[in-house]
Every structure is written in C-alpha cells, then in structure tokens.
Amino acid sequence: MRLLILEFFPTVLCRNEKAFFFPFLSGIGRSHGCDPVWLCLGETLRPDGAESSGRIFRAVPTALDLKLLAARLKGLKATHIVSSELLSPAALRVLRSAAPQAKLLVMPTPQEVHSASSMPRRCAMRSHADALSPEPEHRKFFPKCGWFLDWLGVRDETLAGSYLVEAEPDYRAEMLNEAARFSQAHITIMGGSLCGNLRTLDRNPCFAKVLSKHADHRGCAFCGSTMHPFSPPGQDVPGLVERQFRAILKSRKGQSRTKGVYEFFDIHAFRRFDEVFEVVLRLGVPSGVFLFNPRIDDVLTAADRIEKVLPRLAKAGHEVRILSMGIENFSPAENLRFNKDISPAQVDRLIELTRRWGKAYPKVFRPFKGGSSLPEFGVILYTPWTTLKDLRINLEAASARGFGGAGYWLYSTLLMYPDSPLHSLALEEKGIAAKRFPDRGAVYGAFSNEEESRSVVPWKFKDTKVADFFAIMVRVSAAAMEGAGCPFFKGDREFRGLERIYTEASESCRVTPLAVAFRLLGLMERGTRGSKEELLREAVREPAQSAGPSEEHAGRRFAPSSPTARAGEKLFRKLASRTPRDLRSLKFCGVQETPTPVGRAICVSVSVAGRRLDLDLVDASAPGPYFLRSRRFKAVLSRTTPSSDPSERKALEALLLLIDKSCAAAA
Ligand code: SF4
C-alpha cells in the first residue's frame, strides 16, 4: 500500500486550508505501513469557469511539470492519492496512467465539509462528501482520524476516535519543481479554532426573525470559521505546538516541507503568545516567519504578552506577521448586522500599538503591508443593506486613518454563504435575493483576491443609488489597478466608458479612486441624477475642496516614512555627494512617498543630462505595466516625463539596481 500526497502551492501568501492536515495524514500513513510520499508543485493553480457562475481553482501543471510528475510516479505504485486541489484533465491522465486503480481524494476546506449545499454534484473529484462528515458524533468527523483510517482501509480502533492533531506528524516532502523549491508556502501549526469570537445572535436585534434557525451560531453573521475545534477540549496548547515543531526539526534540510514560514491556526496559540514563543525559543527553531490570524480585540488583550517576548524574538531573528484583521465596517448599523463587535476606538488603539511595536522592533513585528503604515485590515464596504450614509461614515473614517487611495477596501462586497445568518436575513426581506448578481462587479474582489466564488449566494442592493455608486467605484478601481486591459471586465460595456473617463482624468491630474468616491458620494447625496458615465464625468470634474475634508489625504505625497523609502533617501544623499562613474549623467532631485492605486510608491526624481524624470517604484508584484523592473520593484515612469532614450534607460537601470540593493539591506 502506498499513500501519495500531492500539494500544489498557491502563488500568493494565503492560508491553504486544504493542506492543513497533510503532516498528520503522512504521519498516520507512515505508522500504518503506507510508506507515504508527499510531493509539492508550485505555480500551478488556475481559475476555472466563468466568475459569474462561480469560480473554482484547478492545479494545471505545465508540460514540463507533468513530465516531472510522470517520471516521479513511475514505479511508485500509489494505492491512495490525496490532492490539495482539483486537477486539470492532463494532470489527472498522468495520475491515472501511473496509478489506474488508486483511490483519489481531493481535500476540501473545513468550510466545504460543513456547507454540504455548496458542493457541485457534477464534479466527481469532490469525492470528500462520502469520506467525511461535519458531525462531531460521526465516525467520519473531519478533524478526527477515523475517516482517514477507513479511507485507507486500515483498522486502528485506538486511533480512530482521536483527533488528527494527536497523531505524530511527518513533514518529509519533496519539492518537485523549481517553483516549489523557491516557494515560501507556509505550513500550518494546527489545533483549536481559528477564531475565538463566540458571540451569539440572541442579543442582536437584527436577527430576531431568524434566531430560531441560528441559535447555535457563533461569531460574525457572514462567517463559518467558528466551527468545532480541531483539537480535543482542554488541549495543552504549548504542548501541541511543541510536538509539531519537534517533528518539523526532525525532518532533514532538502527533504522537508518546511520553508521557515509557519501559520498558527489556533487563536489560543496567539492568546498565549509568550508561552508559545518560549517553546519556539527553547527548541531553537531557526529564524523564521510566524503568521497569526487574531481579531483586533485579541491583539489588544495579548498586548502585554506580546511586548514581553518581542526583545527575545529580535535576538533570535524571528519575524511575526499578523494577517488581515477584520474591521469590516465603520458604520454602527452595518457592524451590528455583521455581529462583529469591533469599535473604531479599538481600531485606533491597535494602530497605535502596532506602530509602536513596528518602530521598536522593525525586524520582528511586521503587521504592515506593502510599506504602508497601517496593518492589513479586512473591510466589507458593500452589503445589500448599505446606504449612502453608511458609505459616508466609512469613507470619512477610513481616510482619517490613512487607508490607501485605492485598493480592495473600496470595492469589497459581502460574500454571502448559504445557510449563514446573513443569508437567512436576506431571504426574509423582499428585493435582496437574486438568481445572479445584477452587476458582475460584485465578485471582482473575490476574483482579484484569487478566491473561489463557487458557493457565494447572489444578492441585490436595496438602494439603487448605492448600486450605481458601487458599479462606478468597482470599475474605477479596476481601471486604476489594472488599466483598460483588466481581464475581469473584458467585454464589459460600462467598464469601457467609465475606464476612459477615469483614465483621462487621472492623466491630467492624478486622481485616486478614493478621491473619486468622495466626489461621487457628494453628488449622490445632493441628489444629482444622470447615467453612470455622466455621474463619473461630473465627479472627476468636481473641484477637490468640495469632496470632503479628508480627501486631500488620499493623494498627498509624504516625506518618506517607511524603512524602504528612507533607505532610498539615504542612498540619494550618498550618491549626491559621491556619484559612481556609471551614474555621472544623473542628478538626484528627491525621494517621496505616495499612495498609488497599487499601493504605496517611492517616488524618485532625477535629472538625466539635464532632463527631469520621475519614477514611481511600486512593489514588484503590483499589477500593471512598468518601465523597468528589479527584484523588489517595478519602476513606472510618470506620464509627464516619458523617456525613450536608451542612455536614459541605462542610467535608470543602474540606479534602480542600487536602490534595490540598499532597500534590501534596510529591510
Ligand atoms: S470573520 Fe473573523 S472574527 Fe468574525 S467569526 Fe469569522 S474569523 Fe471570527
């Protein structure tokens, strides 16, 4: 008997819930004579299906990767295959020709196990429905070993009732292609529950009519993350963490799944931050990156424990990152409906704390994304119930706190899942439920975040003005981030017109989507009527001062504040006093920072043989065209200073290389 585990790495840093239990499956396989082989492939996930009908991802290995896979599978005689993803037909053929009789299981996310209604029957590879159960009393209960032993056809009644995380994990794995070797795909330190928000709905007046159906619901009204825990009650959290790290340290370099990046699934591990890191430090885990998913109030509560351990983490060279924390919405009405219970005051306290820690321990504590001075916050700006007043509250509150002038937060919509309390609420009211989204822009956020949208329930805005506001803003945002060639809106007639208006406006005076949002909202509040194009044309024509007190924040250039930009500024000062030979034609004018549609940019101004050139350096992974590219940056030439001269290009190339190096040293 041979167990084959296939893990496909996503290209972006995200939680791979389907691979959560792989170390434990591998460990159980090894201790039960299945001689497991765990193969990893990188850069292979592609969306499949039209986004309007729900998007799913498949592993689509290249021809070369298929050859590698076929060669590795030769003679392996796998009898049981667990894959983290659905496979392309070609990949499936490779598997089938190497192991025609093997049982195949595509791992679901925990959410998929719990929402049986979201499973497409047509998809034969979503075979987990027969293998797993969401019911804690069932032998096939997902977090326990019984289902896997049964699936393998192995009898072990002692282990069957234990949780998977109680089995001995095994982290031995092979990186099959280059992309897998270079990937930073993290592994998850398992146990407990992702979220500790156990707030019920019974005291929330929004849910009075649907309470009987959701009496057992815990947490936010759109979320199913607070499901049954993945470890037994009363689990010794530091002990569980220690067992996993001990196993990680056992696997030899070059044969291990670990990349030095670890995500803690268990909120209790975050709440016992200092104790968990005592374990990590005591075991001598090599310097690594540790990711957590707390709520804002969890961070505030754990502040003392965090502060206590930061100096020792700095010494050990460890880095701590906090993944997106949900504010969801600054409007009290929307926040109550989300059952979120996070206040603006808590947000401000968190910003203040994280800035303090980031400043004191810049190499350890990195909650900030893309050089921003804000942690990464989750926002859901649009729901079926959103009013213009809610939008005003959010734009004012977000821009007062320095949210970017463009980005996901400005077009983030509620992804409504079947059977969630918000879904029941939507069904209770007339005019929300829909067969399809009236505006396909509603799933642009999921599309650009590389999320699957297969099980999302379509809905309509109650307020038609908000529907128009959203339709304009999502297209303006897409135009700012991806330009006219935005693949999602290809063929969308509204996008073509709105993109042209926005692009023309931002060519003549750099106007951010946030600035447009303020102006557009002002028009709508004053009852201005017109088609979407007319409204946008009017909005971009509006003078900035009428748009609201905070808009100026959205497009302002700042003195450098991020370490990266400060490193650039320091380099400029050095170069100005002592210019290397290959940069003699350059004069160094200045370095600033500015929010741009694709994140914060370092704006570099130089003069080449007397001609001024302005470049925005954005993160190398940012979408959109660029003039030059280095390891860390894409350099985008300002439209006002175009260049086609090869000698200018050469000088800028040399400069970009230097900036890249000095910023890497500063990071
Ligand atoms: S949205 Fe976040 S805070 Fe709310 S229940 Fe889900 S995981 Fe918990």
Residue showing tokens 């691979």: 19
* Substitution site in 114, 225, 301, 342 for ligand 1 pocket (most atoms within 8 Å of beta carbon): 225
| Residue 493: partners with Cβ closer than 8 Å, 6 or more residues away | none
Rg of the Cα trace of the chain? 26
The rounded distance, in Å, linking the Cα atoms of 567 and 544 is 33
Query: What is the per-residue pLDDT for 548?
Result: 45
In the listed set 360, 376, 392, which residue is the last one of a domain according to the structure? Answer: 376
User: Same domain for 154 and 270?
Assistant: no
C-beta atoms surrounding 646 within 10 Å? 8
Query: What is the per-residue pLDDT for 271?
Result: 96
Residue showing tokens 């590389």: 450
The rounded distance, in Å, linking the Cα atoms of 590 and 576 is 10
CA quadruple 225, 227, 229, 230: dihedral sign:
negative
What does DSSP say about strands 325-328 and 319-322: parallel, antiparallel, or unpaired? unpaired
Which residue's CA is minimally distant from atom 8 of ligand 1? 195
ipTM score assigned to the predicted complex: 0.99
User: Same domain for 241 and 372?
Assistant: yes
Ligand 1 atom at minimum distance from 197 CA: 8
Residue showing tokens 């969401």: 134
User: Same domain for 228 and 347?
Assistant: yes
**Is ligand 1 within 6 A of the CB of residue 335?**
no
Contact 231, 189 (CB under 8 A): no
User: Same domain for 362 and 435?
Assistant: no
User: Same domain for 471 and 529?
Assistant: yes
> 58 has which bridge partners?
46, 86
Q: Where are the beta strands (DSSP E) in 101-208?
A: 103-106, 174-175, 187-189
Average pLDDT per run of 10 along the chain, which is 667 residues long? 93 74 97 96 71 65 94 95 91 94 89 61 60 85 95 95 96 94 90 90 95 93 81 93 96 88 94 97 95 94 96 95 91 97 95 90 74 78 98 95 87 91 94 93 81 76 98 95 88 95 78 92 95 96 52 45 72 75 76 72 79 80 77 79 73 86 76
Closest CA to 190 of 214, 208, 164, 158: 164
User: Same domain for 178 and 257?
Assistant: no
**Is ligand 1 within 6 A of the CB of residue 225?**
yes
Closest CA to 665 of 533, 567, 576: 567
Ligand 1 centre to CA of 473 (Å) is 26
* Substitution site in 270, 295, 416 for ligand 1 pocket (most atoms within 8 Å of beta carbon): 295
The rounded distance, in Å, linking the Cα atoms of 635 and 617 is 5
User: Same domain for 314 and 362?
Assistant: yes
| Residue 542: partners with Cβ closer than 8 Å, 6 or more residues away | 519, 522, 523
User: Same domain for 330 and 457?
Assistant: no
Domain that holds residue 599: 563-666
DSSP per-residue codes, 51-101:
GGG--EEEE---HHHHHHHHHHHTTT--SEEEESSEE-HHHHHHHHHH-TT
User: Same domain for 177 and 246?
Assistant: no
How many structural domains does the chain have? 4
User: Same domain for 348 and 392?
Assistant: no
What does DSSP say about strands 611-619 and 599-608: parallel, antiparallel, or unpaired? antiparallel
In the listed set 503, 533, 554, which residue is the last one of a domain according to the structure? Answer: 554
Query: What is the per-residue pLDDT for 53?
Result: 46
**Is ligand 1 within 6 A of the CB of residue 197?**
yes
Query: What is the per-residue pLDDT for 510?
Result: 64
The rounded distance, in Å, linking the Cα atoms of 392 and 522 is 9
CA quadruple 438, 440, 441, 443: dihedral sign:
positive
The rounded distance, in Å, linking the Cα atoms of 372 and 374 is 5
Ligand 1 centre to CA of 495 (Å) is 33
In the listed set 170, 185, 200, which residue is the last one of a domain according to the structure? Answer: 185
**Is ligand 1 within 6 A of the CB of residue 295?**
yes
User: Same domain for 7 and 117?
Assistant: yes
What does DSSP say about strands 3-9 and 37-42: parallel, antiparallel, or unpaired? parallel
Closest CA to 376 of 385, 367, 387: 367
| Residue 216: partners with Cβ closer than 8 Å, 6 or more residues away | none
Ligand 1 centre to CA of 318 (Å) is 27
User: Same domain for 615 and 468?
Assistant: no
Token duo for residue 317: 């060279």
The rounded distance, in Å, linking the Cα atoms of 48 and 547 is 41
DSSP per-residue codes, 318-382:
-EEEE--EEEE-SSHHHHHHHT----HHHHHHHHHHHHHHHHHSTTTB--BSTT-SSB-EEE--B
Ligand 1 centre to CA of 291 (Å) is 16
Query: What is the per-residue pLDDT for 553?
Result: 42
